Amino acid sequence: MVEPTSEHNRICGIVVDSASAVHRALGPGLAEAVYEQCLAHELASRQIRFVRQMSLPVTYRGMRIEAGLRLDFVVERLVVVELAAVEEMAPIHEARLLTYLKLSDHLLGLLINFNAPRIEEGVRRIVRG
């Protein structure tokens, strides 16, 4: 299994710190789209490169399917970040991120639930096996 590099870890740290700043300012209870815009602003203010709402096609038996899948963020071309604003994370959230990592050929992802009382409780780090 390939392990995340120190650069992967550095980017994860910046993303989590940025999400924490947003969560401290806004608290839980808002729509996911609000947190997405604020996180984008926070990352940009730290001069971190990212793509928002990146289209993710599915390839099945050589056929490319535009299924409407979108990655919330791809940060520094290394880390996929998926956001949530739900009462409780369900196994499907982690499964979806793991599938996104596989389909996009990324190694590392973060699942961040802004509805957690403390952002640290709402962060899941997922490594593609």
Instruction: Please write the tens of the pLDDT for every residue from 56-114.
Output: 999 889 899 888 899 999 999 999 999 999 999 999 999 999 999 999 999 999 999 99
What pLDDT sits at residue 129? Answer: 82
User: What's the chain's length in residues?
Assistant: 129
Angle in degrees, 0-180, between the axes of helices 6-26 and 32-45, rounded to the nearest 10: 120
Which pTM was predicted? 0.94
Four-CA torsion 115, 6, 77, 86, nearest 10 degrees: -10
Domains contained in the chain, CATH given: 6-127 (3.40.960)
Instruction: Please write the tens of the pLDDT for every residue from 27-57.
Output: 999 999 999 999 999 999 999 999 999 999 9
8 A C-beta contact, residue 4 and residue 108: yes
Of residues 1 and 123, the one with the higher pLDDT is 123
